[in-house]
Structure 1
Amino acid sequence: MHMYDFNDLLPYKKWRQGQLQIAHSVYNSIIERKILLINYPTGAGKTLPVLIGALKASFENGYKIIYLARTKNQFQAPQRELEKINKKIKEKINFVLLYNRQELCLQKNLQKLPYEEFIGFCAFLRKEGKCKYYPLSSRLSDSNNMQCGDEIMNLAESGDYCPYELTKLLSKNALVMILAYNYIFDPRIREIFTRDFNVKFERSILIIDEAHNLPDIIRNILTRKLRREWISRAIKEIKGYYRGEDRASVISSLRCLYSYLKSLDKKVLEKGFSVLERDFLYNTLPSPTRLRKIGLIIESEYKSMLLFKSSYIRRIYEFTNYFFEYPYSILYAERDYNYAVIKISPIFFEQNVIKPVVESRATIMMSGTLPPLGYYTSLLGLDPVRSRIEELRIPSPLSHRVKLKIVKGVSSRYVERGEVQYRKIAQCIDAIFYKSREGIVMTVFPSYNYMRNIRLYLKSRPLLVERERSRLSEVVNEAKKYEKVLLLAVAGGKMVEGIEIKRGNRSIINVVVIAGLPIPEPNILTKNMLENVSVKVGNRELAWKYVYLSPAVMRIVQAIGRSIRSKDDSSIVYILDERATDEFIISQLTRYGFVPEVVELQALLK
């Protein structure tokens, strides 16, 4: 392979501030087999220098690059940069984008099936030779130069080839693979992926984008659920397709389980969350072995009728198996619209889950809002390899464009919540909106419920509200209709993590209001996390700050990032919570390059 210098791979006229430092750090981490954590502001251009550093090492040593992104939309950034690099260098970089098999399937009538049913039907068609897109023709063996998902789809459609199988074939010669988190961090999917694509982590560079989300994403991947609807459907399946001697006893157990879930509805609707004792489920759930046996029998019946779907018994089996296999996991009930759903989540991650992070030649974890190193390594269970971990934090080159003000005399403390507090915060928001120039005043709340309570007292108009099912495109288009508008959003929601509203090259979000410190709700998950981190860092007070204050700072920085997208942007940010004057929070904000100013409530309201 050709050897390239960093500048040889740069497809632009010059580096942005901090980018060349990132490229060097990435390259050195790969050569020295390190785990590198990079904190560089959102929108400042992390993707390009990380790829350049990884590509230089890959060209020299033959490593494969695995780039993980959270969503399909986030696949676009690495694809765009690779396409630009390819226009500059002689030796083209082959890369593939790997979606799930169903999204790639050319049989459009199958794309509406539930995923598990699709997988079963796909396997049947391939086995029986009834899929016209499979197997691939041998004449594809020389097709080594496909570069991206669009080209693969075009080739597949023109030649009646299965896009998934085509991606597998072309990935053998691909230097870069871009895929979703679950291919690596769901152990079951990872086993299939590494087998199908012949991936060896010791010869791979793992790049994780938006890495601040990684602990939550892994926890969501590993969490198992139990719904009342599944139980009632499982009972119908057993009645219809199972004739075993234990039929009556299993149905009886499932009915008890159904009644128990129903009894949780009222409690969960009132509180939103309820910790559960394990004893009832331990004595009620059928054994995983029995459930698996029944599930296989029922699914065999389905296949005989050409119905390719997993049984509801299988879903209950997966929950039950996890329940008995991991006795130290967290068991709780949570509100899901108007019903309770039981969930079981890991307290800490097994080493098998983070195995790729440790075993890869190097792992690059990047974000604009990485938490403190000690907290992050504790969450991910990386303490045993702490000596291999390096951290690179580069303050935002645009932080000087932000005026950050913390307002004293107001707070969103849980113990003070009520009409008096809601009115005071609404009064502050109205005063800020009245004083602001044209554009968007984006107001960020700790939760949807808190936002609804404050909204009752707001007088400012026009007003746009983020809801749980809001679409980003709809909000953006609606906001652009107004010269000046108040946008209500939620910390950690779609708007704060993904919205960008511009006129020309400038952001029209000119003011950001943090309406209450976005501290995580103190529930069983955060309490268990606190206990776990306390043990690992050996300091309960510091652990409390890591678990509750660090996520709040991350969400504040994310919100600020919505307003500063280029060197031409500027914004004023108000934090309506005097708790933000805490020394730990000030120090964390300063690490991101922001210089907070403390102002009195009365000065704001003048």
Structure 2
Amino acid sequence: MELFPYRGFRPFQKEVHDAVYRGLLEEKPVLINAPTGLGKTAAVLTATLRYLLDTETSVHYVVRTRAELEPPVRELSKILNRGVDLDHVVIKSRQDMCCHSSLKKLDYLEFLAECRLLKRMGRCAYYPPREVQAPLMSVSTYVKFLCASQSCPYEYARQKMSGAQLVISTYYYVFGREHADLRDRVVIIDEAHSLFDAVTQLHSIVLSEGDLRTAYKEAKKYGFLDEAAKIYRLLTFIKRSAGAVDVGDVLGLAADLDLENAIWEITKRKTEEKVNPYTPLLLVKELRDALRGRLRYYAEVRGENLAKTLVLYPLDPTALIKESLRGVKNVVYISGTLPVSIFAESLALSDFVKLDISFSDFIPRHNYLSIIDVGVTTKFEERTEEMHLRIAERLATAINLSPGGVLAMFPSYDVMKGVRKYLKISIPHWYEGPQEVDWENLP
């Protein structure tokens, strides 16, 4: 059966497909660096599923963000439409997959507390999940179908993960604190250039002055005075600190906190009071447990005055990556900006299959002009409406001055959506989304 979901390979797609399949057959890690727009996802997924069907080896495909789930899901949908019978599952965060729209407005930890309460009291109409066959066209339709079937999409996916032939998920389910069982699976890591930063973020501990102040007040209110006093000492330490701090000092303040009983009792009392049962003592417990564990951290206090935050970063993300991938059958690393040699050295990879396609290989040098505009940025903390407007104005100018077609690449779907509403252009234009454009039948 022909798995590739298109009429033929585009330039370099066949090379990507063959490199991945060869690496899997030889049981060697695969490192693919190829420009965005080449069609890596379809080529890699086709090669990996071919290997899956040949060897009955399960596959876990991971992306960094929830928006990045769409391309592999879209390509998988097309492959399934060719008659491939494959047990698959898609999973992202519990809140993103929740059928209760009102709960999506809560802070994540408040949401988790409310979710647990609804399940425990038997008041969630979608739990336990039902056994249904969810069609796959896009992530949103997948979730909507399960909700319409009265089946919690998240719990449905969690139940199916261990037995699924193909899992598509965000990084959390491979590199988070509670990762999936990956033994004897092939793992595909998309956007691999961001792996070290993503793992660092997943294992960082963040505790704000405001969270600590609320934790102190709740411990005091509900009668846990010893814990309240210890939390207050930690709060005072953060208020008086700035920059790098000694992890040992933080450990000395948090290590002997006895929080389990306090959390249980406060959660129960809040439930009886018919308020959200979340308590920020959970964050203090997370800090304590992290300091008691095997990981080594770097600690610093950021911010000023009443807005200070204690942050702990893991010192060695490489060790976390290796631990998460322990026992896997093989790994395929793919990216559009992967420094192959440095990346391989960082993970101590010596015998591997690589394919390194430069941008100038994909698009001839005489076909593009490089211009750096220092007046705009897509840094997360600076993604304001004003910035989106400025990007849109510059992009419209570039498009209107170009004699031919223009391909605009955005760092994320969120940025594209933010810019799109301000973009005013008169020529025909299309945006990538869950439903891919049929390029051959455009007017």
With the shorter chain as reference, the TM-score category is: 0.7 to 0.9
* Partner residue in 1 for 2:334: 366
Task: Assess if the C-alpha contact under 8 Å between 1:152 and 1:166 holds in 2.
Answer: no
User: 3-state DSSP class of the match of 2:337?
Assistant: coil
Task: Assess if the C-alpha contact under 8 Å between 1:116 and 1:309 holds in 2.
Answer: no
Structure exhibiting the larger radius of gyration computed from Cα positions: 1
Per-residue CA distance 1:17-72 (angstroms, 9 max, x = gap): 22212212212222232221111112211111101110100111222221111222
**Structure 2: distance between partners of 1:288 and 1:485:** 64
**Structure 2: distance between partners of 1:90 and 1:79:** 16
Task: Assess if the C-alpha contact under 8 Å between 1:68 and 1:209 holds in 2.
Answer: yes
Identical-residue share of aligned pairs (%) = 23
User: 3-state DSSP class of the match of 1:443?
Assistant: coil
User: 3-state DSSP class of the match of 2:289?
Assistant: helix
CA RMSD for the aligned pairs?
A: 3.8
1:391 partnered with 2:354: yes
1:319 partnered with 2:233: no
Task: Assess if the C-alpha contact under 8 Å between 2:90 and 2:168 holds in 1.
Answer: yes
* Cα distance change, pair 474–184 in 1 and its aligned pair in 2 (3 A): farther
* Cα distance change, pair 250–335 in 1 and its aligned pair in 2 (3 A): closer
1:376 partnered with 2:357: no
Task: Assess if the C-alpha contact under 8 Å between 1:94 and 1:176 holds in 2.
Answer: yes
Task: Assess if the C-alpha contact under 8 Å between 1:223 and 1:343 holds in 2.
Answer: yes
Shift in Å, 1:485: 9.9
Task: Assess if the C-alpha contact under 8 Å between 2:58 and 2:184 holds in 1.
Answer: yes
Per-residue CA distance 1:382-439 (angstroms, 9 max, x = gap): 32xx34533221223334235899xxxxxxxxxxxxxxxxxxxxxxxxxxxxxxxxxx
Give the letter for the 2:177 counterpart.
P
* Partner residue in 2 for 1:443: 373
* Partner residue in 1 for 2:214: 233
Task: Assess if the C-alpha contact under 8 Å between 2:12 and 2:38 holds in 1.
Answer: no
* Unaligned 5+ runs, structure 1: 195-199, 265-273, 406-439, 452-463, 487-493, 508-606
Shift in Å, 1:241: 0.9
Greater strand share, structure number: 1
* Partner residue in 2 for 1:414: none
* Partner residue in 2 for 1:34: 28
TM score, norm. by length of structure 2? 0.79
Out of 147, 150, 153, the residue aligned to residue 163 of structure 1 is: 153
**Structure 2: distance between partners of 1:476 and 1:220:** 28
* Cα distance change, pair 65–306 in 1 and its aligned pair in 2 (3 A): farther
1:114 partnered with 2:110: no
* Unaligned 5+ runs, structure 2: 402-408, 432-443
* Partner residue in 1 for 2:17: 23
1:281 partnered with 2:250: yes
Task: Assess if the C-alpha contact under 8 Å between 1:96 and 1:178 holds in 2.
Answer: yes
Give the letter for the 1:227 counterpart.
S
* Partner residue in 1 for 2:404: none
Give the letter for the 1:391 counterpart.
K
Q: Please show how residues 135-284 of structure 1 align to structure 2 within 5 Å.
A: 135-137=128-130, 140=131, 143-144=132-133, 146-148=135-137, 149-168=139-158, 174-188=164-178, 190=179, 194=180, 200-244=181-225, 246-247=226-227, 249-250=229-230, 252-261=232-241, 264=242, 274-278=243-247, 280-283=249-252
Give the letter for the 2:136 counterpart.
Q
Task: Assess if the C-alpha contact under 8 Å between 2:31 and 2:334 holds in 1.
Answer: yes
Give the letter for the 2:356 counterpart.
R
User: 3-state DSSP class of the match of 1:178?
Assistant: strand
* Partner residue in 1 for 2:117: 124
Task: Assess if the C-alpha contact under 8 Å between 2:87 and 2:164 holds in 1.
Answer: yes
Task: Assess if the C-alpha contact under 8 Å between 1:68 and 1:179 holds in 2.
Answer: yes
Task: Assess if the C-alpha contact under 8 Å between 1:67 and 1:177 holds in 2.
Answer: yes
